[in-house]
Amino acid sequence: MPQAPVPRRPPAKILPPEAPGVRALASLVTGVIIICALYFGRAVMIPIILAILLSFLLAPFVDLLRRLRLGQVPSVIVAVLIALSVLTAVGALIGAQVAQLAGDLPKYQVAVERKIDSVQRVTVGRADEFLGRASRALKRLSPAAREQEQKKEDNPTSSPIDQPMPVEVHEPTPTPLELAQRFLSPIVSPLETTGIVLVVAVFILLQREDLRDRLIRLFGSRDLHRATTAMDEAARRLSRYFLAQLGINAGVGIIIAIGLAIIGVPGALLFGVMTALLRFVPYVGTWIAAIVAVVFAAAVGPGWAMLVWTVILFGVTDILAGQVVEPLLYGHSTGLSPFAVIVAAIFWSWIWGPIGLVLSTPLTLCLVILGRHVDRLEFLDVLFGDRPALTPAENFYQRLLANDPDEALVQAETLLKERSLIAYYDEVALEGLRYAHNDVLRGVVTAEQLRRINESALDIIEGLEDADDIAVTVERKEGPPASLDSPDDTPGVVHETPPARFDAQKEGHTASVLCIAGRSELDDLAATIAVQLFRKHGLYADLAGYERFSRGRFSEVDLAGVTIICVVSFDAAESPPYLRNLLRRLHQRASSAELIVGLVFPESPLQGEVLVRTSSAAVSFRELVEACVAAARRQSGDGVPWAGLTDTTGEAALSGPSEDVPELRNA
C-alpha cells in the first residue's frame, strides 16, 4: 500500500514591518537640515565647494611638483598661481570679447534689423494679417458693433480736459561715490569669491593629510582600513574624472572657437569659453551654448549659411566628444544614471542657481562615491549610481515572480558573453532559486506564484539547451571605467571555467548518472539544470522525482548496475530527516554506487553524517559536474541507464541522452 503523502511544513510566521525608528527619523531631520543649510548658506558654501573641487584638480599637479623635490609649500603656491593665471586669462578674454561685441553691435544693426523684419513678416506679420481680417469680418457681422459705432457718431467730441497729462521723471545726478559703487559692484563680487576660493584651496592642499585624518577620525574611526581606502580611492578617482572632464571641455571649447572663427561668427573665443564651461552641465550644456551661438550667427550673418555651418559644427563636435572621446577616457557614462543627472541638475540649480547647475554633476558624483563606501549613505549610490539596482541573481528571481522568462533569457544571453554556462547557473540561477526557496520556507510564496516560478524557470532552462558550456575570456579595458572603479584597484568578478568534458568513447567506457530530485518545491528545477549540465559534459543522465524513492515505493526500484547517483535538493543545507533517510536507503540498496549530494552549504550538518562515509557533497553545479565526471573516470565498466532498468510500476522517469552525444544513446 503506498504511503500517504507527507504533510507540508506549516509556513513560517511573518512579522509585520517595523515602524520607523528613531534612527530613521533622525536621518530624515538631518537631511532636511542639510538641505536648508545648503540653501540659506549658499554664500558661504559655494566658495568652499569650489575650493574643494579646485583642490581635486590641482592635487595631481601638486604631487608632480613634490615628486620633483620642490617642497610642499612651494608646490602648492606654484600650482595655485598657475590656476590664478589661467582664471585671470579666461576672465580677461571673456571681458575683452564682450567689450568687442558691444562695440561692434552697431555694425551688425542693419543686418539684425533686416533679419528681424524678415522673420516678423514670415511669422508674426502673417498671423497679424490673418487675425485682422478675421476681426474686421466679425465686426461687420456683429449688431452690437454697429450700435456702438452709431453712438460714437452721435456723441460730441470729448473735452480736452479728459486727455491724460504727460508726466516726466528726472533722476538726480549720481554722485561720484554712487558712480564708483555702481561700476565696481559687478566686479567686486566675483573677485571676492575668487579670492576666497583660492585661499581655501591653498589651505586644503597644504593640509590634505591632516584633513583626511580628521575626517577618518570623525566618520571611520571604527574601521580605519576601510575608511582610509575609501577616502584615498575616492580622492584619486575624482581627481582623475575632473581632470579628464576639464581636458575634454577645454578641447571642445578650442575646437568650437576655431570653427566659429573660420565660419566668421563674431565673438568666437567667447562662445568657445562658454561651451567649455557649459559642458559641465550634462546633456544640455553644449546645446545651451549652441543656441546662443546659432541665434547670434543667424542675426549677424548676411544669409543663412553661417547659421547652418554653426549647427553642423556644434553637432559634430558634441557627437565626437560624447560618443568617442569620453568613452575612451572614462567609459560610456560618468557613473551616474541619466535620471540622477537630470534630478541633480534641477536640485542644485534650485539650491545654488547657475553655479549649482554647472556643479551638479561633480557634486552628485561625490555623493555617489561617498555612498559606495559609507553604509548609512548607501541609498545615494542606489538612487543615483549607474550600477544595476538588483544583482543578476535578484533580477533572475524577480523575473520568475513576474512570469517573464523572455527578459530573463535576454539577460542570460548577455551574461553568457562574459562567463560560461555553468558559471551562469551557479552565480545567477542557483542564487535566484535560493531566494525563491527561502521565500517558500517563509510561507510568502502563493501556489500561483510557485507555478509561475516553475514554468518560467523551465522556459529559461529550455532556452539555454543549445548554449555551449565553454570558458569565455573577457579582456579588461584600460583606464577608469564608467563606475570610476579603477581596474587595478577593484577586483573583478572571477568566473569559474567549466570542468573538462568527459568523452566516453575516447576514455573507453560509458557512464550514466541517476539524478534524483528532493522533495522541496524547487528541487525539480535544480535537478533539471544538473541533468542538462551532465549531458553537456558527456554524461548520460536521467532524472527521477523523489516520489519514486519514497519509503513506501523504494522496494519497487531496482538499482542493480547503477554506478553514479546524484541527489539534488535545496533541503540539503538544512539536513531534514527525509533526506537523511533517502541517502541511507540508497547506500543500503546500491552500496557500490558513487553517491553525490548537492546543493549543500560548507557548514551543512549533512556533511557530518552518512556523507562522510559513503558520498561527496557539492555546493554548486560546478562541483556536482566535477564530482560526477571524476566518478565516471573511476568507473571500470559501463553504467546502466536508469531508463533501461526494470520498473515494476511501468512509470518511466524523465530521461534521455543528449542529442550531441549519440554514442551514449546507442549504449
pLDDT tens digits, 390-426 = 888 888 998 888 888 888 888 888 888 888 888 899 9
Helix axes 224-263, 208-219, angle to 10 degrees: 130
DSSP 299-359: HHSSSSHHHHHHHHHHHHHHHHIIIIIHHHHH-SS-SB-HHHHHHHHHHHHHHHHHHHHHH
**Residue 353: pLDDT band with limits 50, 70, 90:** confident
DSSP SS3 for 104? helix
Nearest 5 degrees, angle CA 62-CA 66-CA 72? 80
Residue range 504-666 forms a domain whose CATH class is alpha beta
pLDDT in tens, 608-628: 554 444 467 788 888 888 888
Report d(CA 396, CA 456) in Å as an integer: 10
Phi first, then psi, for residue 512 (nearest 5°) are: -130, 135
Averaged pLDDT, 88-112: 74
Give me 621's grid cell. 553545479
Per-domain boundaries in the chain? 33-120+188-206, 392-463, 504-666
Distant-in-sequence, close-in-space partners of 2: CB < 8 Å, separation ≥ 6: 552, 553
Report d(CA 292, CA 304) in Å as an integer: 15
**Residue 255: pLDDT band with limits 50, 70, 90:** very high
Report d(CA 551, CA 2) in Å as an integer: 9
Q: What is the 3-state secondary structure (H, E, C) of 524-593?
A: HHHHHHHHHHHHHCCCEEEEECHHHHCCCCHHHECCCCCCEEEEECHHHHCCCHHHHHHHHHHHHHCCCC
Give me 403's grid cell. 512570469
**Residue 529: pLDDT band with limits 50, 70, 90:** very high
pTM of the model: 0.61
Q: What is the 3-state secondary structure (H, E, C) of 377-430?
A: HHHHHHHHECCCCCCHHHHHHHHHHCCCHHHHHHHHHHHCCCCCHHHHHHHHHH
pLDDT in tens, 141-190: 665 555 555 555 555 554 555 556 666 666 677 676 666 666 666 667 77
List the one residue out of 566, 567, 563, 540 whose CA is nearest residue 639: 563
DSSP SS3 for 478? coil
Most confident of 39-53, 478-492, 494-508, 587-601: 39-53
